[in-house]
Amino acid sequence: MKKFPYFVTFSALLALLTCVSFGYLVSTLIVSANLFQPSQKVESGQNTYYLLSVYSAESLEEAENELENFSDTNFGLYIYENDGSYHIIASCYKNNNDAELVKSNLKTNGIEAEILKIKKESVVLEGSFSSNEELILKDCLSTTNNIYKDLYDITVSLDTNVTDEVTAKLKINEVYSNFLTTKNNFETLFSASANSEIANIRENFAKIDEILLDLTNSTQDHSLSAQIKYSIAKLIIEA
């Protein structure tokens, strides 16, 4: 019987170990780089808001001059330019029926109001995301709507005297703190991303940060309810 030399056996064993090691390395790289994983979609869903305009002017100057006539109200008094007209926005709603009800109440008090609709189209992110990345992205895409709901609830509590201003301010600080947590989680995972939609989220977060920071540092020139409504309008229109 022929016997294989020792070095031949050793070479074969070494080649086998090399192949196994290389295969393990390649598989590790594929998993770590998320290669060959199916593409996923993360969507924000469409959102519609109803803005209550209590005055419409043909120029910004005219609208600004009219603000003084509403200074003793709880209106948000955000000036919104739309189709060449400058509207003074009193408040914003997710439900058209709520907007219609407030419009009717204002008419009873001699104020003619108009309802303007803003539709936010769904944002879609496509890519290969880990479960944690997907969770954070869903949270990011719902940020504007979630903040709107939280701030809106605070204004309702203030206007119905369920909550005092001290408690309301604490709740505003909590809303801001929750947003900063979402923002930090986003930056931790996507700071190096060049994706255009990721860049849009980053840009919107900068605007939201400014809006909420201004609200937490607000003065007493107007009621807290009016300041929150102003911030809500700015959030919906600008972010």
* Percent of the chain clearing pLDDT 90 (strictly above): 75
Question: Is 181 within the bounds of a domain?
Answer: yes
Same-domain status, 215 and 174: yes
Q: What is the pLDDT of residue 159?
A: 96
pLDDT for residue 171: 97
Q: For CA atoms 152, 165, 162, 115, give the dihedral sign.
A: negative
DSSP secondary structure of 34-50: TTTPPPEEEE---EEEE
Tokens standing for residue 171:
């709740």
Number of structural domains (the chain) is 2
User: What backbone torsions phi and psi does residue 95 show, to the nearest 5 degrees?
Assistant: -110, 125
Of 99, 119, 139, which residue constitutes the final position of a domain? Answer: 119
> What are 77-119's pLDDT values in tens digits?
999 999 999 999 999 999 999 999 999 999 999 999 999 999 9
Is the pLDDT at 33 greater than 90? The verdict is no
The verdict on 102 and 164 lying in the same domain is no
Question: 5 in a domain, yes or no?
Answer: no
Q: Are residues 135 and 230 in the same domain?
A: yes
Q: What gap in Å lies between CA 124 and CA 138, rounded to an integer?
A: 10
Question: b/e per residue, 148-182, with b = 16+ CB within 10 A?
Answer: bebbbebbebbeeeebeeeebbebbeebbebbeeb
The span from the CA of 87 to the CA of 85, in Å, is: 6
* Separation of alpha carbons 74 and 93, rounded Å: 15
With respect to residue 135, please indicate whether it lies within any of the assigned structural domains: yes
Mean pLDDT of the chain: 87
**Amino acid 38: pLDDT:** 56
**Residue 134 within any structural domain of the chain:** yes
- State whether 77 and 167 are in the same domain: no
Residue 144 and residue 111 share a domain: no
Assess if residue 222 is contained within a domain: yes
- For residues 228 and 160, state if they share a domain: yes
Residue 221 is predicted with a pLDDT of 73
229 within domain boundaries = yes
Closest CA to 73 of 110, 116, 40: 110
Residues 135 and 205 in one domain: yes
Q: By residue range, what is the domain housing residue 196?
A: 40-47+127-238
Q: Which of 102, 119, 136 is the last residue of a domain?
A: 119
Token pair of 133, please? 């990345």
pLDDT above 70 for 39: no
Average pLDDT over residues 197-219: 94
Q: Tell me the average pLDDT across 197-220.
A: 93
Taking the C-alpha atoms of residue 75 and residue 94, their distance in angstroms, rounded to an integer, is 17
Going by C-alpha positions, the residue among 32, 21, 61, 46 that lies closest to residue 144 is: 46
Give the residue from 85, 119, 153 where a domain finishes. 119
| Domain-embedded: residue 7 | no
